[in-house]
Structure 1
Amino acid sequence: MFTFSSVLDSMLLRPADKNDAESYTETRDLLRTEIVNPLRKNGYVCATKVMALRKILETAGHSSGFTSEEKDPEEFLTLLFRVLKMDPLFQIRSAGKDPHGCIFYQIFTEGHPTQAVPTVQQLLEGSLVTADLKFTEAPSCLILQMPRNGKNFKAFRTIQPSLELDLTDLLEDAPRECCICQGLAVMECLDCYGDHSFGFGHIKQFCRMCSQQVHKHRSRRSHQPRPLHLPEELSRLGRLPDVIPRQTMQLFAVLCIETSHYVAFTHHGSGIHQWLFFDSMADREGGLNGFNIPRITACLEVADYLEMSPTELQGLDPKSLPPCARRLLCDAYMCFYHSPSLGLYK
């Protein structure tokens, strides 16, 4: 979350006010000075500091087990955000209802079509369309949980984390282009999602004329297209500028779990191949009273698989993949996206 991205640094820097408990300042200062700063400077943070953070969270959050039991990342993040009084990372709204603030979004796949090797982009779109959800605005950071249950149940053998996540068609007020003529879209149709006749698994929005033509087909006459909410000035234009602005986010980390502990992939620098693999329990010194040895290794090859088309990936046997690539594609648990332009520092 912090090593190579500043998008969440507001968590470290908000000044305390008179209503904050002592645990707020203690947690914030420990996270900033004893964990994040050394991690960025040295690429390493002592396990005793992480244990100190766990102890503070356990006490401040009145939640047991943070120093003695395995905890899922969502439990840890929920408590950390609560103790630090952080606002949700994004707001999401179901049609006709008030928005709901969230720290992460759990992807569900029931009821929408997916390919054998789906991308995170396809999974997110399908999950939101099926549940009739929209982001109220583009977030600076988005954490997505893959469709799986712990280390045992996985909905897909392989998932390709999208290097770039396009949220343009998932925002409730963003201008969108007609999926047929590329004019200004004024209607969307959830029933058309999954229609193989003009683009599998893509969100369908139309200008008024294209919507009328598409829904003249006998198989679509029962569909219920609905108007998009657009700013008044856009509604008067009738057509979009030559290039529609896209709201995109970049993948900066992936958290995985295969056995009894979590490992992570993080992207650093501007090069597409600059990926690192982190395992906090890569080796062990001593027996029962010994200690784990963490290890960070470069894994340049994973970028090649992240850039492949889903069709190419589908033709590969996961067992034939290099170890890091197999771990990333077959074992993703959480994917972390950010908007670099919205980071605290440039």
Structure 2
Amino acid sequence: MSALAVWIVQPVGGGGSVPPLSTPEEVRAMFGKNRGIQGHQNSCYLDATLFNPEEFLHSLLAQILQAEPLLQLSSGQEAYHYQLFVDKDEKLNLPSVQTLFDQSFLTSDIKLKQVPSCLIIQMPRFGKDYKMYPRILPSMVLDVTDVIEDSPRQCIICGKLAEYECRECFGQCGSGLESIAFCAKCMDKVHSHKKRGSHASTRKLKVPPDFQMLADHCGSIPRVYMELFAVVCIETSHYVAFTRCGSGADATWCFFDSMADRKGEQHGYNIPTVVECGDLMQWVGEEGSQMLHAVTDNKALPDLPRRLLCDAYMCFYQSPKVMMYR
């Protein structure tokens, strides 16, 4: 049998089509052994992907289904996912996806033409190793404001509408990509300093005319965020998945392993398992990240947080607003 030979174990009393989960009770009914997709002959990479998101399945089968690319790049290229390319920073003990995302877009000097409905981010590789950092903190919310072409941005100094950006100012007046955006007045002031007088990467930003007219009356400039809804992890050669059941910050997260257990030997079968991740937010939140900096030995971490932080391979983000019309 091929790796595609998998079957879905329905919840107790289930059968036929299963509607979207809407209550905590319905979510809990999906937890336990013999739940999810049963793995067969090293099919975990496909099992974990199918248990993720429909959008990623489309990207895998783009040549078959002719699905449109999710990402439109300013370079004119199109893509189904974005690979993070960064130079390894030995000082970073626990980089977040947001930190690596900003560094990668700064290095590549490209932008997205529009906010995607789904953004699939592949973690950075290091030579022949699939992990550049021993641990990466998945950002539950990803700020994409500064990578959207023509998106209104605010000056890092005064908060007014930004008119220029300077890539060489990255991290000098703030953190992340928002630190490179300035209004004309603050741009001149910042670059009057002898440390920044030689910066040569200054460029004028394109601002939508209608927004530019209303800039003085709209107060703070809204930022654009995307929500994490799934993570595919790999340890050695085995793939597993974390996924959010439902929407919103309070939605339940679960962990899926298509080969968590096994019945019998050569002629036996794998037993899939879905586990609730009740304390996941405690580890990826602000307090959890502070605690993680003090834990240097990954083996000291509980199993599920360790797998999420140490084995993250692809993170999936979505924009609920964009999904409503695209």
Taking structure 1 as the reference length, what is the TM-score of the superposition?
0.74
Q: Does 1:209 align with 2:190?
A: no
Q: List runs of 5+ in structure 1 lacking aligned partners.
A: 1-30, 52-66
Counterparts in 2 of 1:77 and 1:232: CA distance versus 1, 3 Å: closer
Of 184, 206, 227, 1:229 maps to 206
Q: Does 1:274 align with 2:248?
A: no
Of 83, 88, 92, 2:64 maps to 83
Q: Does 1:313 align with 2:292?
A: yes
| In 2, Cα distance between equivalents of 1:151 and 1:292 | 30
Bigger relative contact order (CA 8 A; separation at least 6): 2
* 1:114–1:123 Cα contact (<8 Å) kept: no
Of 139, 152, 174, 2:151 maps to 174
**What aligned pairs does 1:192-207 form with structure 2 within 5 A after superposition?**
192-195=169-172, 198-203=173-178, 204-207=180-183
| In 2, Cα distance between equivalents of 1:70 and 1:326 | 19
| In 2, Cα distance between equivalents of 1:144 and 1:315 | 27
* 1:93–1:136 Cα contact (<8 Å) kept: yes
**What aligned pairs does 1:124-139 form with structure 2 within 5 A after superposition?**
124-139=101-116
Taking structure 2 as the reference length, what is the TM-score of the superposition?
0.78
* 1:113–1:126 Cα contact (<8 Å) kept: no
| In 1, Cα distance between equivalents of 2:293 and 2:61 | 38
Counterparts in 2 of 1:231 and 1:111: CA distance versus 1, 3 Å: farther
Of 133, 149, 164, 1:156 maps to 133
Local SS of the residue matching 2:189: helix
| In 2, Cα distance between equivalents of 1:279 and 1:68 | 12
Percent of residue pairs bearing the same amino acid type: 41
Who is 1:302 aligned against? 280
Q: List runs of 5+ in structure 2 lacking aligned partners.
A: 1-7, 9-15, 22-28, 50-55
Local SS of the residue matching 1:148: coil
| In 2, Cα distance between equivalents of 1:228 and 1:114 | 32
Residue 124 of structure 1, CA deviation: 0.7
| In 2, Cα distance between equivalents of 1:304 and 1:170 | 29
Moved more, 105-114 or 242-251: 105-114
* 1:251–1:335 Cα contact (<8 Å) kept: yes
Counterparts in 2 of 1:136 and 1:305: CA distance versus 1, 3 Å: same
Who is 1:341 aligned against? 321
RMSD, matched Cα: 3.3
Counterparts in 2 of 1:46 and 1:223: CA distance versus 1, 3 Å: closer
Of 191, 201, 205, 2:168 maps to 191
How many residues align? The count is: 290
| In 2, Cα distance between equivalents of 1:126 and 1:180 | 20
Counterparts in 2 of 1:250 and 1:79: CA distance versus 1, 3 Å: closer
Counterparts in 2 of 1:240 and 1:174: CA distance versus 1, 3 Å: farther
* 1:274–1:298 Cα contact (<8 Å) kept: yes
Who is 1:11 aligned against? none
Local SS of the residue matching 2:162: coil
| In 2, Cα distance between equivalents of 1:122 and 1:102 | 21
| In 2, Cα distance between equivalents of 1:215 and 1:329 | 39
| In 2, Cα distance between equivalents of 1:105 and 1:332 | 15
Local SS of the residue matching 1:330: helix
* 2:225–2:319 Cα contact (<8 Å) kept: yes
* 1:273–1:302 Cα contact (<8 Å) kept: no
Counterparts in 2 of 1:46 and 1:107: CA distance versus 1, 3 Å: closer
Counterparts in 2 of 1:111 and 1:303: CA distance versus 1, 3 Å: closer
* 1:113–1:201 Cα contact (<8 Å) kept: no
* 2:112–2:149 Cα contact (<8 Å) kept: yes
* 1:118–1:159 Cα contact (<8 Å) kept: yes
Moved more, 107-116 or 36-45: 36-45
Residue 151 of structure 1, CA deviation: 9.7
| Amino acid paired to 2:270 | N
| In 2, Cα distance between equivalents of 1:281 and 1:70 | 7
* 1:177–1:185 Cα contact (<8 Å) kept: yes
Moved more, 115-124 or 266-275: 266-275
Who is 1:59 aligned against? none
Counterparts in 2 of 1:112 and 1:90: CA distance versus 1, 3 Å: farther
| Amino acid paired to 1:130 | T
| Amino acid paired to 2:132 | A
Moved more, 160-169 or 300-309: 300-309
| In 2, Cα distance between equivalents of 1:77 and 1:343 | 15
Residue 232 of structure 1, CA deviation: 2.0
Who is 1:147 aligned against? 124
* 2:106–2:177 Cα contact (<8 Å) kept: no
